[in-house]
Structure 1
Amino acid sequence: MSTTATDLMALSRVIPVVVLDDADDAVPLARALLAGGVPIMELTLRTPVALEAIARVTEQVPDMLVGAGTITRPEQATMAVTAGARFLVSPGSPEPLVTAMLAERVPVLPGVATATEALALLRHGITEMKFFPAGPAGGPSYLEALAGPLPGVTFCPTGGVNHGNAADYLALPNVACVGGSWLTPPTLVKGGYWDEISRLCFGTWSEEAQD
């Protein structure tokens, strides 16, 4: 059975958004997240090693659902899936980019910041979306306002979401998960403090912890 966008948004209340400068960190980081109960990660295409990092995680940590984030050009969708990305995330949703992402036949979370952009994605049958940049775009109150006119849309807010405000987003009925980098701080990743990353993840963002 293939994974859908709904499935991946249900895997974890937080999707770690990861920027790596060294591909050698990818596999131990993926294993640390898994050990902490987080089976999904978004590796952003913001550095030259990103595609190699995705390929290594896909090959060596098959239990980790690894996706590619910061998809900004249509050709990156193909490059990411060829490397092994199992889902695609973009900061925005121009028509050529959305078409290219959908053509790869993997779950997608295109970015929106307005109701107009969300309506455009609905025309493609896309009901799961990244809300970015969540904080500057209006935060929880803005997303709460969208729930009425867009009852079939589910969001993953990213950008300005952190440990202190994540619960405010997760309390909304139209938010399934949030994206953030606080589970994988660069200082811990570069220092190889994998056990500490597992501790940051473990139990904190389970469904039970939010009840």
Structure 2
Amino acid sequence: MLMNIEIQNRIKDAGIVAVLIFHEKKEIRPTIEALSSGGVSAIELTLRTPIALEAITIVHTHYPHILCGAGTVLSPRQISDAQKAGADFAVAPGLNRKVMDEAKRMGLPFAPGITTASDIESALEYDCTLLKFFPAEKIGGIAYLKSLNAPYQHLGLSFLPLGGINTANLTSYAKEPIIAGIGGSWIASSSLIAAGDWDAIEKNACSAVKRFREERKQ
């Protein structure tokens, strides 16, 4: 199983996964502190910049209560790098068997990206039970995902949708039992991080977590 139950349950408990891109070291700690103050307890830190791995290590070292995933993992080497940096799990936009083989070998919890039934069946070969649905809104949103999952519903799969989700549409996802959590970059966007608008990030985090939890209770 590429995504162990403990990590999967922590994602479900968190509900909201903030997707982050850091360009400067000085951005890391105030962003994490703003998210944490707003109630976010899980992040996906994308491996798109030179300081991404260092950022994972900083979060792992100084904010152990934050579940820290490595995102945009595109190569087997990045699996090893992410694990050494202290990532709790990793996700990818697509399904790359070489990456999945390395994640399995290294024992790093991993969720591949899926958009088709063939993707799901390839993931099932690795006993994946948590799958990233990306790009969620562009490909058809929750209606498409529910139809896609219908033949596999008896397997109890869970999904982490990302891509085009925001405060306005997250409730349509949150109310569905197949959704483990919701990921998004709107909570701490690159523009907000660059501007140092920690108050806005905290408010976005608080609003997203509140709306997700309220919808889950219904």
TM > 0.5 between the two?
yes
Q: Which runs of 5+ in 1 are unaligned?
A: none
Letter aligned with residue 161 of structure 2 = P
Q: Is the Cα contact below 8 Å between 1:184 and 1:197 reproduced in 2?
A: yes
Count of matched residue pairs = 210
Aligned CA distance change for structure 1 residues 112 and 5 (closer, same or farther; 3 Å): farther
Letter aligned with residue 53 of structure 1 = A
Equivalent of residue 197 in structure 2, options 186, 193, 200: 193
Paired position in structure 2 for 1:79: 81
Q: Is the Cα contact below 8 Å between 1:15 and 1:180 reproduced in 2?
A: yes
Paired position in structure 2 for 1:209: 214
User: What do the CA deviations read for 1:162-191 (whole angstroms, capped 9, x no partner)?
Assistant: 222111122222112111111102222112
TM norm structure 2 = 0.89
* Correspondences of 1:37-186 after superposition (within 5 Å): 37-151=39-153, 152-186=156-190
Provide the rounded CA distance (Å) in 2 between the counterparts of 1:127 and 1:163.
26
Provide the rounded CA distance (Å) in 1 between the counterparts of 2:94 and 2:112.
6
Q: Which runs of 5+ in 2 are unaligned?
A: none
For the aligned residue pairs, the C-alpha RMSD in angstroms reads 1.7
Aligned CA distance change for structure 1 residues 203 and 160 (closer, same or farther; 3 Å): closer
Percent identity over the alignment is 35
TM norm structure 1 = 0.92
Structure 1: which 4+ aligned runs deviate by more than 4 Å?
none
Shift of 1:153: 1.2
Equivalent of residue 25 in structure 1, options 1, 24, 27: 27
Aligned CA distance change for structure 1 residues 3 and 154 (closer, same or farther; 3 Å): closer
The structure with the largest helix share of the pair is: 2
Aligned CA distance change for structure 1 residues 208 and 112 (closer, same or farther; 3 Å): closer
Provide the rounded CA distance (Å) in 1 between the counterparts of 2:96 and 2:192.
35
